[in-house]
Amino acid sequence: MGKKPLTFQKYFSLTKIALVVFLTCFSGFLFATDNPTSPSQFPIKDLIGIDGEPFSTRDVLDKGKTTIVFYLSPECGACAEQTKAITSNMDQMEDVQFLFVTAYEPESTKAFLEDHHIGNFPNIRFGYDINLTLQQHYQLYAVPSIYLYNSDGQLSHEWTGYTPVEVLKDAVDGKINSNLSQEKDLKEVVEKVEECDPVKNITQVSALCGDLKSNVDTIKPGIPNYIFTLRKLACVKENSSQEEGVKIVKAWWETNKTIMRCDLNIAHIGNHNILKHAVKLVNKQFIKNLVNIFDLDINFKDPIDGKTVFTFCNDEVARLKQLNEPQDEIDDIADICEYIGKVNEERNK
């Protein structure tokens, strides 16, 4: 069955959203901003459910619980990461009622729903904003966008952009008392990095590639140079705390992980993304540090070939075996594959 033709109004709105999604996901937009500009009352609108049946948002609102509306696009990387952050921490937000909303049609969201196992969470209701009533209600200009309503159905917090799950949990738990206080907190963090331009810095990723090759610790003994290079690329100030630095690097990574590529014109090392480059250089420690220090996602697909680093790693082992390369070289790569596999397995639990 072909896709239903779009009305001009819907086509225009989706085009607008898609454009801003591109900017949000790839222009170095690092932090959610708390902008309490939407109508304060929980919106009562009609949506279409996963089963194709219409329902009212009134059915989602539970006056005894916090309700979070999450407007997303299935084609936005930041939305996927936001969904993963929410669902993987659902055990801490079981009392929150979620309404996931998209303006995209069911055919476009099928894979998204399956990948994130949305149907497994009884407190998530998924709705299609076919008539764009919610999009117009919020005057939506970017995704992901999140709106938190208190137990009385009043809007208490609003975020645009990827929002750390810790911020969501603090808001749900009442640790963030008002929009103004949260806005101030976020503003202070943003001000610490705005003097530096992470968008321009991505063009200097060759320094990170070089650090992986040399694997030296000339800046501070015992700490590989690439740790400092990562912080510099992400515009982390020297006086930032470890916790704050991790959050900034993590946000920067989510924005740029698929476009960081290394090509040092060395034999057999092509234009690989940074993780594949680490595998090629047998730099397991780099990948471990990304996971253990910064808690970064290493299980994303390279848009160039659609492969994750885990798939690439196993392919590399097979390639080396076919070429009858030394067994110790094969074992070193296989060891990296095993580590990545364990990390993926642990995070998918």
Q: pLDDT per position in the chain (349 positions), as tens?
A: 443 433 334 433 444 444 333 334 332 333 444 444 567 889 999 999 999 999 999 999 876 789 999 999 888 777 888 899 899 999 989 899 999 999 888 888 989 999 999 999 999 999 999 888 898 888 776 788 899 999 889 998 888 777 878 888 888 887 654 443 444 444 444 444 345 666 556 666 777 888 887 767 666 667 788 888 898 888 888 778 888 889 999 999 998 898 887 764 444 445 578 899 899 889 999 999 999 999 999 999 988 888 999 999 999 999 999 999 999 999 999 999 999 999 999 998 7
Q: What is the pLDDT of residue 56?
A: 95
Cα 238-241-247 angle, rounded to 5 deg: 100
Determine the topology of domain 8-188 in CATH. Glutaredoxin (3.40.30)
**Distances in Å between the alpha carbon of 318 and those of 27, 304, 310, 330?**
37, 20, 13, 9
Q: What is the pLDDT of residue 340?
A: 96
**Distances in Å between the alpha carbon of 148 and those of 54, 68, 170, 248?**
23, 5, 12, 23
Q: 168 by DSSP, 3-state: which?
A: helix
For the chain, what are the domain ranges?
8-188, 198-347
Q: What is the pLDDT of residue 319?
A: 94
Give pTM, 2 decimals: 0.48
Q: What is the pLDDT of residue 331?
A: 95
Pairing label, strands 261-262, 67-72 = unpaired
Q: What is the pLDDT of residue 101?
A: 96
Rounded to whole angstroms, the Cα distance separating 259 from 293 reads 21
Q: What is the pLDDT of residue 108?
A: 83
Q: Name which of 93, 35, 37 is nearest 65 in CA terms.
A: 93
Q: What is the pLDDT of residue 200?
A: 58
Kindly tell me the number of DSSP H helices and DSSP E strands found in the chain.
Answer: 14, 10
Q: What is the pLDDT of residue 157?
A: 87
